[in-house]
Amino acid sequence: RVRVRGLSICRPIIYGNTAVALTQKERDGLASPDHTHRWTVAVRSAASVPGSGQVGGADDLSYFIKRVTFKLHDTYPNPTRNIDKPPFEVTETGWGEFEIIVRITFIPEAGEKTMTLLHHLKLHPWTLSGEPEIPPLDVALKAGPVHSWQYDEIVFNDPFQNFLNLLTSH
Ligand code: SLL
C-alpha cells in the first residue's frame, strides 16, 4: 500500500434531483394519493464520454464508488436507501421538499473515508422573488420538470498507487 505523495486526482460528479408534477390520474393510481410529484435523486459522473459529443452520461462510477446511500425524510418507509450499483439513484413520489443526506462510499482500494453531501430536494420551480411558491397543478404540468443539480469534484490526495492505477486506467 504505497501512497503517491504530493499528487491529487479528482473525478467530476453532479448530484441533485429532477421532479415532475403528477397528473390527477397518476395521483389516483398511487397508494398515497396525497403525493404530488415524482422525483429522482442521483449521483452521476460529470465526465464526458470521449468522442461521444455528449456532456456527462459516462455514468458508470462503480469503478471507484462502491455504494451511495440516500437518507430520505423519515416520512418515507425505509428512509435509508443503499444503492450498490449504477445508476446511483432513487426514484420516489411525495408531496414535500426536504434535505437528503447523500453518502458516498468508495471501493476499499481507495482507503478513503465516506464522503457526505447534502441535497435539498426541489419540487417547485424557483421564483423571481425567491419566496417559495407552489404553482397550481396545470401551471406545474405546463412548466415541465424542475431540475436542481450541483457540480462537485471528488478529490483524492496522496492516493494509493493501486487506486491511482484503477482511476487512470478506467
Ligand atoms: C415539509 N419538512 O414539511 C418537509 C417535510 C416530507 C416529505 C417533507 C411523503 C412521504 C410519504 C413526503 O413527501 N414527505 O408519505 O411516503 O414540507
Domains in the chain: ranges and CATH = 8-168 (2.60.40.1970)
120 CA from centroid of ligand 1 (Å): 12
- Most confident listed range (15-19, 55-59, 130-134, 136-140): 15-19
Given the C-alpha cell 401551471, which residue does it identify?
A: 139
Q: Count the residues in the chain.
A: 170
Instruction: Label residue 170 by pLDDT band (50, 70, 90).
Output: confident
Distances from the Cα of 6 to the Cαs of 1, 51, 99, 153, 160, in angstroms? Answer: 16, 31, 36, 18, 11
Q: Give the pLDDT score at 49.
A: 65
Mean pLDDT of 77-106: 97
Cis status of the peptide bond prior to 87, with omega within 30 of 0:
yes
Residue owning the nearest CA to atom 17 of ligand 1: 96
Ligand 1 pocket test target in 72, 73, 123 with most atoms within 8 Å of CB: 73
Q: Give the pLDDT score at 166.
A: 96
C-alpha cell at 170: 478506467
72 CA from centroid of ligand 1 (Å): 9
Q: Is the model's pLDDT at 136 over the cut of 80?
A: yes
SS3 87: coil
